[in-house]
Amino acid sequence: MIVRTPWLVAAALAVVFVAGPAAGSYDTAPLLKFRGEREKSLQADSGWLTVAGLHFLNPGDNRIGSDPSNDIVLNFPSVPSHVGVITMQGTNVRIRAAAGQTLIINDRPATESELHGSFDQKPTDTLKFGAVTVFVHYSGPRLALRVRDQQSALRTGFRGLRWYDPNAAYRVEATFSPYPETRTIQIPNILGDLEPFTAVGDVTFALGDARHTMEAWGSGKRLWFVFRDKTSGGDTYPSARFLYTDQPVDGKVVLDFNFAQNPPCAYNSYTTCPLPPLQNRLSVAVEAGEKKYSLP
């Protein structure tokens, strides 16, 4: 299911270069492609718009089902009144079906199974009820059940993303200073739970009338920046935005803030996103990239 949004029409009619007296020219083709891919990703079966619940587990037994008497209530038509019991002991999670129930775990019938957790949106073990999928998710040291619903209101009511106009002034070259060794740092997420991230170095760049420094985190073959700026809480999502870049070449990194994107929490209150480190809270308004999302 893909919702057609106004920017697609604009993309078809876009002029390839945006020019300004100080900024020079800017090739918008890669940016328009990126925006289209963002919308498709959000609306995909495994996209952030399908996340429809986050229920933290208590030590010991947790009764689950759609009936309000359960410890964890999964209020979906496809979920039985009493599914069974999920038992958490330390970081071990196991589910046991209620009498007369058959569970669908990893697409196979079962009456009992371990459920292994994941830090990201890619579940290790899944429990399915029709269009609803449940899996174990880590938020810092805490374990929760994350719920995904293919028919969620966020997905069916998706309104499209909003962006600043492309601006070459927000595509800047930065100097990358790698750390002697990568550092594992603990950063709070939006719920206050500390989560580990790999810091690989700093970048220094000029923007506006000042020079700025941001910490770079490793993200596969790319660098990842979680930042806040003077537009945060106004035109843009209050907590942070994300920016990904290619790896440094000869000690240089291109920061194109036109590609700045919202974190999952901007669309969905059931997600857990990192807050920016102190050095990534910029004293300049970055009027580029994705704007605040309007929830349905």
User: pLDDT tens digit string along 3-48?
Assistant: 434 444 344 334 333 433 334 588 999 999 999 999 999 999 999 9
State the pTM of this model: 0.88
Question: How many Å from the N-terminal Cα to the C-terminal Cα in the chain?
Answer: 17
User: pLDDT tens digit string along 153-211?
Assistant: 999 999 999 999 999 999 999 999 999 999 999 999 999 999 999 999 999 999 999 99
Which phi and psi angles does 151 have, rounded to 5°?
A: -110, 25
The highest-level CATH class for domain 49-149 is mainly beta
Torsion, CA 199, CA 204, CA 206, CA 208, rounded to 10 = 40
How are strands ordered across the β-sheet holding 60-65?
72-73, 60-65, 84-89, 92-97, 112-114
Domain boundaries, the chain: 6-20+161-280, 49-149
Instruction: Please tell me the distance from the alpha carbon of residue 80 to that of residue 161, in angstroms, as a whole number.
Output: 36
Residues paired with 27 in a beta bridge: 17
Of 154, 155, 137, whose CA–CA distance to 146 is shortest?
Answer: 137
CB 243 within 8 A of CB 225: yes
